[in-house]
Amino acid sequence: MSFAIDVNILVYASDTGSRFHDPAVGLLHRCASGSDVFYLTWPTIMGYLAIATHAAVFARPLSPDEAMRNIDGLLALPHARVLTEDEGFWDLYRETAGAVPLRGNLVPDAHVATLLRQHGVRDLYTHDRDFRRFDFLRVIDPFEAKAE
């Protein structure tokens, strides 16, 4: 089974002050030690770098080098993949936008959702409820009691 990881999982794993820190770290350890292919997107990676190094978000933000090393560790795993836009992405994004009115924070979420859709990835680990608006995704919130 393959799946994708959203930015908030990466952020919580780096935020030792978050109540979600330990479960996020646990999920990433399961990803690292498992054999299932898991996906990131460039918007997810860039969002992580922006948030994890931002002093207004973290009491002790990561340095750019620390944040990049975290991403390096994930990308070095043989079963990690980064999804990029393929031919036809814009048309698929417009189709997604037609089904869910996009504005504000939903715009980058739709970008990630459309990347997953284009590559046939249905499962997304995230704490962001907005992704539930995309009916082609199965959103798995690892911080809910009923989640694995």
pLDDT, tens digit, 9 for 90 and up, residues 128-144: 999 999 999 999 999 98
Q: Mean pLDDT throughout 67-95?
A: 97
Q: What are the strands, taking DSSP E only, across the chain?
A: 3-5, 38-41, 80-83, 123-125, 138-140
Q: Using CA atoms, how far apart are residues 91 and 58, in angstroms rounded to an integer?
A: 37
What tens digit of pLDDT does each residue of 92-129 get? 999 999 888 888 989 999 999 999 999 999 999 999 99
User: Checking DSSP bridges between strand 80-83 and strand 38-41, what pairing results, if any?
Assistant: parallel
CB 28 within 8 A of CB 61: no
- 64 has pLDDT over 70: yes
Question: Which of the four pLDDT bands, split at 50, 70 and 90, describes residue 58?
Answer: confident
Parse the chain into domains and list their residue ranges: 3-140
- Here the tokens at position 34 are 């498992």
Topology classification of domain 3-140? Rossmann fold (3.40.50)
Q: Mean pLDDT throughout 79-95?
A: 97
Nearest one of 25, 21, 70, 23 to 44, comparing CA atoms: 70
Q: What is the largest CA-CA distance in the chain?
A: 41
Question: Which of the four pLDDT bands, split at 50, 70 and 90, describes residue 146?
Answer: low
